[in-house]
Amino acid sequence: MSHSQLYLNLAVNGLVEGLIIAMAALGITLVYAVAKFPNAATGDFMTFSAYTAKGASVLAGGSLVFGAGVAVLASALLAALAYLLIFRRLAGRKLVAPLVVSIGLAFLIRNTLTFFVGTDPTVLPVPIVRAVEVGGIFLQPLDLAVAAGAAISLAAAFIVLHKTPIGRRMRAVAGNADLARVSGIRAGRVMLQLWLLVGMLAAVAGVLLAAKSVIEPEMGWHLLLPAFAAAILGGVGSPIGALVGGVLIGLAQELSVPLVGSTYKAAVGFVVILVVLLVRPSGLLGRDRSVR
């Protein structure tokens, strides 16, 4: 493989990794914009979805589609319960309260999963297929699935936010909660819809991550920091920002492997963020705390 071919391959890897980070960042950015706090349980919703998909697909004789479908429903339910039983009670409290509680929720989900399924890694029943080589660049069918999943997630988020009354209300609450109230918008209903949406997005991300990698209890948690970084980099509240932020971090990480070695590639992502935020504090596409 020539030098430039290597870097092109690394760029492809970075793009795919970045899309997964972007999907997680999308969930974070939406909750932050509307509910005004960083949800540290985002990764663990993904882990929960991965395990659910695995369990459901095994029960259905290996059907990945069935597994993914069940995962989406289960994750939406989990997110809705998290709101109804936990986050709703924290409405109006300072950001620290729901943030800390979400960390606790993350631990709770992770440890419950570990208790029942153990810590050994497992995989989704995805057939192993050789990559297609195009001019020295290797493309995996799974990469295309990840790209498609990211595209669908983003499109779904965009459509809901901008083409439906539900999304309009979410953006209103995100922009000005008091004004939304005096416009007759019920925050509770909007929040429930938000969490359902976020749960579904986390499921898509979790299933695709599981398909590409291995399923183990900390898989989502490990993605949390890059996902947060991507959300901040892209400007909190912007779904497009989440996509751009995620892809940039993914690319920076993978392209740096031959240069700084794998150990420091996570640091590279954060250096990128540092530089961008120094120049543009609200993130690449950010503005105030609303949702576009």
Partner 1 sequence: MTALLDAQDIRGGYDETPILNGVGLTIDRGEIVTIAGTNGSGKSTLAKALVGLLPRCSGTVRFDGRTLDAVAPEDRPALGLSYVPQVANVFPELTIEENLWVVEGVGNRRARADELFGRFPSLAERRRQLARSLSGGERQQLAIARALMLHPKLMVMDEPSAALSPRLVEEVFALIRDLAAQEIAVLLVEQRAREALAFSHRGYIMSSGRIVAQDSAAALLADQELARLFLGQGRSNAAAS
Partner 2 sequence: MPFHSILSRRRFLAGTAAGAAALALPAGPLRAQAERPFRIGALNPLTGPGSEEGAGMLATLQATARLINEAGGIDGRMFEVISEDDQTKPEAGVLAAKKLVEINKVDAILGTWSSSVTLAVMSAVTQPNDVMLFTCSGAPEISEENTKDLVKRFTPTSFAYGVAYARIALKSGYKRAVGMHLNNSSGKAQIDGFVHEFTANGGEFVDRIAYEPSKPSYRSELQTALASNPDCLVLGSYLADTTIILREAFQLGSRAGVLAPHWALGTKLVEAIGAPAVEGVSTASAVLTKDNPSVALYDRLYREAMGEPGSANAYGAMCYDMVNVLAYAIAAAGPGASNADINGRIREVANSPGEQVFDFVSGKDKLKAGKVNYSGASSLVEFDERGDDTGGLFSWDVLQDGKAVQRELITL
- Point out which residues bind partner 2 (CB under 8 A): 1, 3, 6, 9-10, 13-14, 16-17, 20, 107, 111, 114-115, 118-123, 128-131, 133, 138, 140, 209, 212-214, 216, 218-219, 222-223, 253-254, 257-258, 261-263, 265-266
How is the chain split among helix, strand and coil, in percent rounded to 5?
A: 75, 5, 20
- Is 34 a binding residue for partner 1 by CB under 8 A? The answer is no
Among partner 1, partner 2, none, what does residue 44 contact (CB within 5–8 Å per kind)?
A: none
Among partner 2, partner 1, none, what does residue 184 contact (CB within 5–8 Å per kind)?
A: partner 1
Q: How far is the CB of 234 from partner 1 (least distance, A)?
A: 16
The torsion region of residue 62 among left (phi > 0), alpha (psi -120 to 50) and beta comes to: left
Among partner 2, partner 1, none, what does residue 134 contact (CB within 5–8 Å per kind)?
A: none
Cβ(22)–Cβ(35) below 8 Å? no
Q: Which residues contact 68 (CB under 8 A, 6 or more apart)?
A: 53, 57, 203, 204, 207
Helix (H) or strand (E) holding 139: strand 137-139
The torsion region of residue 115 among left (phi > 0), alpha (psi -120 to 50) and beta comes to: alpha
- Is 93 a binding residue for partner 1 by CB under 8 A? The answer is no
164 to 203, contacts with partner 1 by CB under 8 A? 165, 168-169, 171-172, 174-176, 178-187
User: Of 41 and 231, which CB lies nearer to partner 1 in the complex structure?
Assistant: 231
- CA 136 from centroid of its chain's CA atoms: 31
Q: How far is the CB of 203 from partner 2 (least distance, A)?
A: 16
User: Of 103 and 185, which CB lies nearer to partner 1 in the complex structure?
Assistant: 185
**What's the DSSP call for residue 285?**
S
- The dihedral through the CA atoms of 271, 273, 274, 275 has a sign that is positive
Q: Which residues here bind partner 1, judged by CB under 8 A?
A: 165, 168-169, 171-172, 174-176, 178-187, 287-288, 290-292
